[in-house]
Chains A and B, each alone.
Chain A
Amino acid sequence: MSMLTPLYVLGLVAVSLPVIFHLIRRMPRGQFPFSSLMFLSPSPPRLTRRSRLENILLLILRGAVLALLAFAFARPFLRQQLPLNSGNAERSRIAIVVDTSASMRRGDLWQQAIARVNEVMAEGQPFDQVAVFTCDAALRPLMGFEDMSQVEPAQRRGLVSARLKSVSPTWGATHLGQGLMDAVEIVNNDPGAASGRDRVARRIILVSDMQQGSRFNALADYPWPEEVRLELRRVAVSQKSNAGLHWLAERSPIQSSANAAELRVRVSNDADSVANEFELKWLNASGGAIGTAVTAHVPAGESRIVRVRRPNDKASRLLLSGDNCDFDNTLYVANRAEAAHSVIYLGADEPDDPEGLKFYLERALTDGLSRSIHLESVAGAKALAIRSATETPLVVVTSEPSQDQSRELKQYIESGGTALFVLTEAKPLTALASILNVPPMEVEEAKVKGYAMLGKVDFGHALFAPMAGANFNDLTQIHFWRYRRLSAAKLAGGHMLAQFENGDPALVEWQLGKGTAYLLTSGWHPADSQFSRSWKFVLFVSTLVEGDRASESNRRYFVVNESVPLSEEVKSAENASVTKPDGTKVAISSADREFVATDMPGVYLLTGGGMEQRFAVNLDPLESRTSAVGAETLEQFGCRLVGASAVAEHQERRQYLHDVQLESRQKLWQWLVLAALGLVVTETWLAGRATKQPFTEGAPS
């Protein structure tokens, strides 16, 4: 039994008043000062007739009347679940957003999240509108408002609980900022509210671990509606040490094989971590350790870049150990494509001659490229043996090619290849002219006083676009000692991409068929210029090799839920498919431009068009930033948070209204007052009877 106004129970104190008065009467009235009590002992109080309780029955009856009245004023009621009238109650439209990102895989976070949702469902009232959403990279409805409205209120909790048990945290990154914005729109989109029938309190209850990498920044420029309140129900793990492992780059040594790669990975340790010593070891596909482990010391809140040498192709993943959370401790590594790519160098350079062009080109090709490129050198009139424009992305010509070589080059360029002609001597450009079908271009040695610099560069072109930034477009530090002069008026349709200060062409482009031919009027070797000493040379070469294809189809590392672009070969191939790490195969049609089902970390196998390509999908690096942020972060982004006290107050008010309705239905106080009246009548009758009896000494009156 509960009471609506329990303070009235204090009226029960009145029951004890007669007894208290009796006890006060027994207390001695006199206070006598006396010189010394050293000759006295305390006397037990004598029991007189006046100190005895008389008419105990009447005392009990009067006490019972007082007690019944006190209980009646306290308005008691029996607590039970009854369908209540929602007429006067405030209706709520509540969207419960449950974080299902990869960080929720830690410990028992998911079980806590289910418990929180169950709590919220239990607190809700039957006339509330409730919907449950999951959120990782995007907001997805688990049970929308429409679905929930078709379910009986009593069954909602069980249904939501069952649906939640069928869901588990994904491997996706957390985009709670965007998810909350979507939830606000859904909560605000209330067709019932448009009629203005009653007041609706709109609330979003976020059940999340509130990790740092939740991308709340999306809320920065979002005007959060005033009428929507956000309530936070946190989940947290007891052991917070977490470190993450993320791929940065892969590098192949110049003289080594393609597979003996060295990986640069980032080990980031969370700010809340206790551990700071970690171990990295390679595992094969079956989970066996390969090679020796590497240790890394990373203090809490910091990150370290670690170079890890991959022992062989069988080492398919790198495992980090030393922290308490395993979900982000594995880094999957994809092997390089089997098909070899090569750049053909046509010239008579000696091997490892630092005075030649090949020496610098070879080194520029070893780093920064998404695929392994070999430099094949062809000297003299030997056939170039170009396989295809795809396998040979670039041909560098530094000496005059033979007629056969010119034919090969023309065919290669027309099929989509890229050729770079470098003028190292002042000789007529007969071969290039024959390829381009233009008259031979006259070339002469330019007269350079001191050095020449590039005066005008077309940064809009794909070759120079990477250098277009204000920090990178200073090319004045590249000095040219020598260059060959070519008449700008006789470029035969060529597009001048760069020119020297005096207007002489430095780099000219000709489009031929699907491909491109470039002419550089100076070499990058020390005799001609400082070009090879600049980092811009490496960028120049890599852009030439990768081209505007940007090698998207050659990328081997992705994060979960990132789209994988598909190459033309794959799209045009029949029976192309992607095998996911769990063994499921996803077919690819010609209409697919990219593969989007990268929903789990691991190594994916892309097959089609007679080729096999592997790519690795890993966790989003931000997902490893698991230290929790405070509610003030959300407040900073303008979210209108409901404090814990406000939540309790709301629940209290709800409970009070519920109790008022129960009490007004049961009206137990009426029965108690009736019983009190009955007792008063009985007491009056008994008292009257007692007073009529003659008083006899010693007998109770």
Chain B
Amino acid sequence: MSAAVANSKQSESRPQTAVGRTSFVDPATVMRIKNLQLRARAVVEGFFAGIHRSPYHGFSVEFSEYRAYTPGDDPRYLDWRLFARSDRYCVKRFEDETNLLCYLVVDLSRSMDFGSGTYTKCDYARTMAASLAHFLFTQRDAVGVLTFDEKIAEYLPPRHRPGHLRRLMGVLERATAGRSTNVARPLEQIAESVRKRGLVVLISDLLAPSDVLRPKLGYLRSRGHDVVVLRVLDRSELDFDFAAPGMFHDLETGRQLYIDPQSARAEYRRRFAAHAAELKRICIDLGIDFAELTIDQPLELALFDLLQARLRRGRRHVRHAPRRRRAAV
């Protein structure tokens, strides 16, 4: 619970910190670079390769815990000294420093085709996914990508091979906003199709009823994935700063409404904030790292958010490990 609170505080305090930095590149400038891979490289430049703690246990140099021997375990890994001391067969486990399996899940629904500036949320999301992929790939992590609108559009499994990053960039280059949207069903499909546990980074605006999102995110989480949600929004979606009244055209449903922004703004903000709060609460409940970005914010913030999430998860993992070891012993 304390971690969740910290997470929440972190995400709330981060934008002021990020915006205040002058070293970040203006996203509008980044978006002018047509090649997505170059765009990603521009964002990632300056970041160091890091080692990620993995949820998998392997046999490396750093001891993790003891586990009771069960028939079928390799007897080579029996700790004979412990057997001498306690007369029990235990197997030593070590923290694995394997590479990360990361799934970048990019929402291409029609609502992502909205942008009040020169680029849309979809452009921003693709660039963010490309930056993350590039960043992780330079750390020799396996990165895959999955795009969806109402169903899974394209899926590239995580690999770390020469040429994989280029293919991944190709998938993201081809990604355009889809014709319709249904966040819930693709999430369910992702949970079913991605069997090997890893890090799932969901990049979406999450403009769907919260009661629909909750079970699907929970299902994804229950499959053992570490989930990071990066919510991408336009500034006008937060503020609803339209001036003139007019017919507002819903990109998702095609519905048209006559809206007078002056009279509707307060109510909109209230309901939007409530929805956002509900989303955060769902993520906290499910142990999902949640970050919200507007498309005028620097893309590097997404990398910070990801790294911070990984660090938090690593600390959480290390903090829990001795307790388990004691229990095992």
Q: How far is the CB of A329 from chain B (nearest CB, A)?
A: 78
CB distance from B104 to the nearest CB of A (A): 21
**Chain B residue at smallest Cβ distance from A28:** B246
**Counting CB contacts under 8 A, is B239 at the interface?**
no
Q: Bits for B237-266, please: 1 = Cβ < 8 Å to A, else 0.
A: 100001011111111110101111001100
- The B interface, classified by DSSP as helix, strand, loop or mixed, is mixed
With both beta carbons as reference points, the residue of chain A lying nearest to B269 in the complex is identified as: A39
A29 touches B267 (CB 8 A): no
User: Are B247 and A31 neighbours in the complex by a CB distance under 8 Å?
Assistant: yes
Task: Name the distance in Å between B65's Cβ and chain A's nearest Cβ.
Answer: 47
Q: Once the chains are docked, how many angstroms separate the CA of A35 from the CA of B115?
A: 8
B114 and A33 contacting across the interface, CB-CB below 8 Å: yes
A35 to B236, CA, bound (A): 10
**Contact assessment for A31 and B250 in the assembled complex, using a CB-CB cutoff below 8 Å:** no
Interface: B209 (CB within 8 A)? yes
From residue A134, how far is it (CB to closest CB) to chain B in Å?
A: 76
Interface residues on B, range: 20 to 34
B214 interface residue, CB < 8 Å from A?
A: no
Q: Is A699 an interface residue (CB 8 A)?
A: no
A43–B111 CA distance with the chains assembled, in angstroms: 22
Asked whether A29 and B252 contact (CB < 8 A) given A40-B268, A42-B257, the answer is: no
Report the bound CA distance from A45 to B111 in whole Å.
26
Chain B residues with CB under 8 A of A42: 257-259
Compute how far the CA of A45 lies from the CA of B267 in the bound complex, rounded to whole angstroms.
Answer: 17
CA distance A39 to B278 in the complex (A): 14
Give complex CA distance A29, B246 in Å.
Answer: 6
In the complex formed, the residue of B with least CB distance to A38 is B207
**Contact yes or no, B207 A28, CB < 8 A:** no
> With the chains together, A34 CA to B205 CA distance in Å?
13
Contact A30 B245 (CB under 8 A): yes
Select one of A28, A29, A35 contacting B111, CB under 8 A. Answer: A35
Q: Which of B207, B250, B253, B260 contacts A43 (CB 8 A)?
A: B260
Out of B245, B255, B268, B271, name the residue touching A46 (CB < 8 Å).
Answer: B245
Smallest distance from the beta carbon of A39 to chain B beta carbons, Å? 4
Tell me the nearest residue of chain A to B260, going by C-beta. A43
For A36, what are the chain B residues with a Cβ–Cβ distance below 8 Å? Answer: 111, 207, 250-252
A30 to B258 alpha-carbon distance, docked (Å): 10
Closest Cβ neighbor of A29 among chain B residues: B246
Chain A nearest Cβ from B48, distance in angstroms: 36
Chain A residues positioned under 8 Å from B272 (CB to CB): 39
Contact A39 B275 (CB under 8 A): yes
Report the bound CA distance from A38 to B250 in whole Å.
Answer: 9
CB distance B264 to A41 under 8 Å?
A: yes
Asked if residues B247 and A32 are in contact (CB atoms below 8 Å), the reply is: yes
Please tell me if the beta carbons of A33 and B246 are within 8 angstroms of each other in the complex.
no
CB-CB contacts below 8 Å: B13-54 with A: none
Q: What is the CB-to-nearest-CB distance from A350 to chain B, in angstroms, rounded to a whole number?
A: 120
**A53 interfacial contact with B, CB 8 Å:** no
**In angstroms, how far is the closest chain B Cβ from the Cβ of A78?**
50
Cβ contact of A32, chosen from B111, B246, B267, cutoff 8 A: B246
Nearest residue (CB) in A for B242 is A32
Report the minimum CB–CB distance from B103 to chain A (whole Å): 25
Residue among A31, A34, A37, A41 having the largest count of chain B Cβ atoms under 10 Å: A34
Nearest-Cβ distance from residue A33 to partner chain B, whole angstroms: 5
Contact A35-B247, Cβ < 8 Å, known A43-B263, A45-B260: no
A31 and B246 within 8 A (CB): yes
Given contacts A28-B247, A30-B247, A43 and B242 within 8 Å (CB-CB): no
B123 contacts the other chain (Cβ, under 8 Å)? no
Q: Is residue B234 contacting chain A, with contact meaning CB distance below 8 A?
A: yes
Nearest chain A CB to B252's CB is how many angstroms away?
Answer: 5
Q: A3 CA to B239 CA in the complex, in Å? A: 63
- Which of A29, A37, A45, A46 has a CB less than 8 Å from the CB of B248? A37
Q: Which residues of B contact A28 (CB under 8 A)?
A: 245-247, 258
Q: How far is the CB of B209 from chain A (nearest CB, A)?
A: 7
The answer to whether residues A30 and B246 also contact, given A35-B251, A35-B252 and a CB cut-off of 8 A, is: yes
Scan A40-73; emit 1 where CB is below 8 A from any B CB, else 0: 1111011000000000000000000000000000
Option from A31, A33, A40 in Cβ contact (under 8 Å) with B264 = A40
Tell me how far the C-beta of B237 lies from the nearest C-beta in chain A, rounded to whole angstroms. Answer: 6
Rounded to whole Å, the gap between the CB of B40 and the closest CB of chain A is: 25
Partner pick for B259 among A29, A35, A38, A40, CB 8 A cutoff: A40
A34 to B257, CA, bound (A): 11
Q: Is the CB of A34 within 8 A of B267?
A: no
Residue of B nearest to A42 (CB): B257
CA distance A32 to B260 in the complex (A): 12
**B244 and A37 form a contact (CB under 8 A):** no
Chain B residue at minimal CB-CB distance from A39? B271
Interface pair A32/B248, CB less than 8 Å apart: yes
* Least Cβ–Cβ distance between B178 and chain A, in angstroms: 13
Contact B247 A45 (CB under 8 A): no
B121, B209, B267: which contacts A38 (Cβ < 8 A)?
B209
- How far does the Cβ of A652 sit from chain B's closest Cβ, in whole Å? 50
B275 and A34: CB pair below 8 A? no
Complex: A259 Cα to B139 Cα, angstroms: 137
Can you add 4 more A-B contacts, CB < 8 Å, to A29-B246, A33-B251? A30-B246, A33-B114, A33-B249, A34-B248
Give 19 pairs: A residue, B residue, CB < 8 Å, sorted on A: A28-B247, A29-B246, A31-B246, A33-B114, A35-B111, A35-B112, A35-B114, A35-B205, A35-B251, A38-B209, A39-B268, A39-B271, A39-B275, A41-B257, A41-B267, A43-B259, A43-B260, A45-B260, A46-B245
Top 8 A-B residue pairs of the complex, sorted by shortest distance between their CB atoms: A30-B246, A35-B114, A43-B260, A35-B111, A39-B271, A37-B250, A36-B207, A28-B246
Taking beta carbons and an 8 Å cutoff, which residues of A are in contact with B?
28-43, 45-46
